[in-house]
Amino acid sequence: MFAWVRRRLFASWREFFEHLIFLGVCVAGVANASWLWPLVGAMLLLLLGWDRYSELFVKAGKIDAEYRDLARLAHRNGHMGIGVSLYLRARTLAIVLGAKLGHDALFLVGAFIFGHAARWFWFG
């Protein structure tokens, strides 16, 4: 047997499913499916990479919890303005999740548009 036959095409099942999601969104573009498919694919990529990014999400959640605790303490002591400003700073987790989902969704929107272009070229 040749050496290239024994080599695995994908390093892990996760990598295989990531490529499968990308191809699925391209096919959804060819099939003229809903524009929600890139968002669904981005959420699936978030779930597939959860163990890769879970430490970052936990750290962001801890930062948010500290800000909320400080805001609660300031509110109890009568410092409403400081409490509100501290509570408004507790958005790190939303920013981190938004950045991850936004990056994946933008990438998959490109794949979806590529599918639309392929349909336009193939089927006129």
Q: Distance between CA 64 and CA 50 in Å, rounded?
A: 19
Q: Distance between CA 91 and CA 99 in Å, rounded?
A: 12
Query: Rounded to 5 degrees, what angle do the CA atoms 93, 65, 101 make?
Result: 10
Model pLDDT, residue 83: 87
Does residue 124 register a pLDDT over 80? no
Q: Which amino acid is at 79?
A: H
Does residue 1 register a pLDDT over 80? no
pLDDT in tens, 13-29: 899 999 999 999 999 99
Model pLDDT, residue 6: 61
CB-based contacts of 99: which residues, under 8 Å, 6+ apart?
none
Model pLDDT, residue 13: 87
> Per-residue DSSP letters for 69-91?
HHHHHHHHTT-HHHHHHHHHT--
Q: Distance between CA 76 and CA 5 in Å, rounded?
A: 68
pLDDT in tens, 61-79: 999 999 999 999 998 998 8
The model's pTM is 0.78
Q: How large a percentage of the chain has pLDDT more than 70?
A: 94
Q: What helix, strand, coil percent values describe the chain, rounded to 5?
A: 80, 0, 20
Q: Which amino acid is at 9?
A: L
Does residue 103 register a pLDDT over 90? yes
Q: How large a percentage of the chain has pLDDT more than 90?
A: 70
Model pLDDT, residue 5: 56
Does residue 60 register a pLDDT over 90? yes
Q: Tokens 């699925």 sit at which residue?
A: 24
Q: Which amino acid is at 108?
A: L
